[in-house]
């Protein structure tokens, strides 16, 4: 099947504007608040905190910056261990390396594709016997599905280890009646261009801990002491979100419910249209929460002759972008020296997994095209 003439390429997940963004950005421009910090940043933080149900939110230049500052706030330093999901994006692990700490990469469970609480329990028991517990555990809520937070929180509470949630992909999901990102000592969100909502680049750190929020705010603006002259007693960073981008974020946040509803509708339609194909299995929905379906993701059973590379090539030739599932961190050359616990589940998900176009601005016609080409790719392999 070839690309229909004049049809734009169908991309995985693109920014979706169309609410109050233009008006709010103009308001910021006309007020001349073209700076890091400003009233739009304050309002974005307050509105975001309210939306996810956290007392404090700190707007930052990226999700990675938010993770970095949260790790500092939890006291992570050189040679400390930090347990983190191996099946994730490198942005979850890089900030651990910035601090000279040691990531320990934990495999996924099949039920949610997220950090396996059984492995977590084993590792913490083992470390407790050795007398040195990790400084933090970083579960990731992959593709919009919350990790098993009830189990993970209970285990970490028992050992007194702090939880830092990487909720970069899960804005709009729920776990019980709360938002993932608000269970641990801190949680981080990303507003990168492909996420559920975007500020082109940006992130948010949320926490119940007022001191942690204050420290993050200070570190994000070069750690200035409260003095009229420029005085610094700590090494700081330039990580604050600009007032202009916060205006964009406020407009985007107002659209969140519709954006998540659109992504969930894509998942439902894909599953209805493709779920009957032999060897095609959609990412499961774990019972403890509601998946935001940031990306619709599935696995292909190699026994059927289907491979992500083969199906992607057919889709690509028809002008449709797909992506493999994240390559686990323990298979990344840069993290080759890191300890890994298990790994078989994430390796299989990487080998067999594929993400379909899932943007909230994907039209029904475009989705039908993806479905038709996907079915033809499966017929080719059969
Ligand atoms: C996007 C993402 C990040 C990093 O966020 P940025 O805003 O791009 O720095 C971290 N972790 C996960 C799981 C992500 O998907």
Mean residue pLDDT across the chain: 96
Stretch among 98-102, 141-145, 376-380 having the lowest mean pLDDT: 376-380
Q: Average pLDDT, stretch 92-110?
A: 98
* Closest-lying ligand 1 atom to the alpha carbon of residue 191: 7
CA pseudo-torsion sign 336, 349, 161, 130? negative
Question: Rounded to the nearest whole angstrom, what is the distance from the C-alpha of residue 278 to the centroid of ligand 1?
Answer: 33
Residues 6+ apart with CB under 8 A from 79: 100, 101, 102
What is the share, in percent, of the chain residues with pLDDT greater than 70? 98
Query: For residue range 52-89, what is the model confidence (pLDDT) as tens digits?
Result: 999 999 999 999 999 999 999 999 999 999 999 999 99
With the most atoms of ligand 1 within 8 angstroms of its CB, the residue from 70, 85, 88, 91 to mutate is 91
DSSP readout, 171-236? TT-EETTB-TTSSSSEEEEE--TTSSS--SS-EEEEES-HHHHHHHHHHHBTTB-SSSS--BSS--
With the most atoms of ligand 1 within 8 angstroms of its CB, the residue from 15, 58, 95, 169 to mutate is 169
The pLDDT assigned to 33 comes to 87
* Closest-lying ligand 1 atom to the alpha carbon of residue 67: 10
Cβ proximity of 62 and 95 under 8 Å: no
The pLDDT assigned to 3 comes to 53
With the most atoms of ligand 1 within 8 angstroms of its CB, the residue from 13, 15, 62, 64 to mutate is 64
d(CA 324, CA 299) in angstroms, rounded, equals: 10
Q: Average pLDDT, stretch 104-123?
A: 98
Query: For residue range 3-33, what is the model confidence (pLDDT) as tens digits?
Result: 555 678 999 999 999 889 999 999 999 999 8
The pLDDT assigned to 7 comes to 75
172, pLDDT greater than 80: yes
191, pLDDT greater than 90: yes
The pLDDT assigned to 134 comes to 98
Stretch among 136-145, 225-234, 312-321, 346-355 having the lowest mean pLDDT: 225-234
Query: For residue range 266-281, what is the model confidence (pLDDT) as tens digits?
Result: 999 999 999 999 999 9
Cβ proximity of 169 and 176 under 8 Å: no
Question: Rounded to the nearest whole angstrom, what is the distance from the C-alpha of residue 159 to the centroid of ligand 1?
Answer: 28
Q: How many CB atoms lie within 10 A of CB 303?
A: 8
Structural domains present in the chain: 21-253 (3.40.640.10), 256-381 (3.90.1150.10)
Cβ proximity of 231 and 72 under 8 Å: no
The pLDDT assigned to 289 comes to 96
Helices and strands, number each (H, E), in the chain = 12, 14
Residues enclosing ligand 1, CB less than 6 A?
Answer: 62-64, 88-89, 91-92, 140, 166, 168-169, 190, 192, 203
Query: For residue range 28-60, what is the model confidence (pLDDT) as tens digits?
Result: 999 998 877 899 999 999 999 999 999 999 999
Residue that wins the pLDDT comparison between 253 and 8: 253
d(CA 126, CA 71) in angstroms, rounded, equals: 23
* Closest-lying ligand 1 atom to the alpha carbon of residue 195: 1
pTM, full prediction? 0.97
The pLDDT assigned to 286 comes to 96
Give the Å distances, CA to CA, from 123 to 120, 165, 186, 344. Answer: 5, 18, 22, 17
- Which residue owns the Cα nearest ligand 1 atom 14? 168
Question: Rounded to the nearest whole angstrom, what is the distance from the C-alpha of residue 91 to the centroid of ligand 1?
Answer: 5
């Amino acid at each position: 099947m070839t690309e229909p003439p004049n049809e734009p390429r169908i991309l995985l997940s693109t920014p979706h504007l169309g609410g109050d963004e233009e008006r709010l950005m103009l308001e910021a421009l006309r007020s001349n608040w073209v700076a890091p910090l400003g009233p739009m940043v304050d309002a974005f933080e307050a509105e975001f905190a309210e939306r996810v149900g956290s007392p404090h939110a700190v707007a930052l230049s990226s999700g990675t910056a938010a993770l970095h500052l949260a790790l500092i706030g939890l006291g992570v330093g050189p040679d400390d261990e930090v347990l983190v999901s191996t099946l994730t994006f490198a942005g979850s692990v890089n900030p651990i390396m910035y601090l000279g700490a040691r990531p320990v990469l934990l495999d996924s469970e099949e039920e949610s594709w997220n950090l396996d609480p059984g492995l977590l329990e084993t590792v913490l028991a083992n470390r407790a016997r050795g007398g040195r517990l990790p400084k933090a555990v970083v579960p990731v809520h992959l593709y919009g599905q919350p990790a098993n937070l009830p189990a993970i929180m209970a285990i970490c509470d028992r050992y007194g280890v702090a939880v830092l949630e990487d909720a970069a992909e899960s804005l709009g999901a729920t776990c019980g009646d709360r938002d993932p990102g608000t269970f641990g000592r801190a949680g981080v969100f990303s507003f990168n261009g492909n996420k559920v909502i975007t500020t082109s680049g940006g992130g948010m750190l949320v926490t119940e801990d007022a001191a942690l929020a204050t420290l993050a705010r200070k570190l994000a603006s070069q750690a200035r002491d409260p003095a009229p002259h420029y005085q610094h007693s700590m090494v700081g960073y330039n990580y604050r979100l600009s007032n202009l981008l916060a205006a964009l974020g406020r407009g985007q946040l107002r659209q969140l419910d519709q954006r998540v509803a659109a992504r969930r509708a894509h998942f439902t339609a894909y599953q209805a249209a493709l779920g009957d194909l032999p060897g095609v299995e959609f990412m499961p929905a774990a019972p403890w929460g509601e998946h935001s379906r940031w990306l619709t993701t599935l696995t292909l059973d190699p026994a059927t002759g289907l491979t992500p590379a083969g199906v992607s090539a057919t889709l690509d030739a028809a002008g449709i972008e797909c992506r493999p599932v994240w390559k686990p961190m323990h298979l990344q050359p840069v993290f080759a020296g890191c300890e890994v616990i298990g790994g078989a589940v994430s390796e299989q998900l990487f080998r067999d997994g594929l993400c379909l176009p899932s943007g909230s601005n994907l039209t029904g016609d475009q989705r039908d095209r993806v479905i038709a080409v996907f079915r033809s790719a499966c017929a080719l392999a059969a």
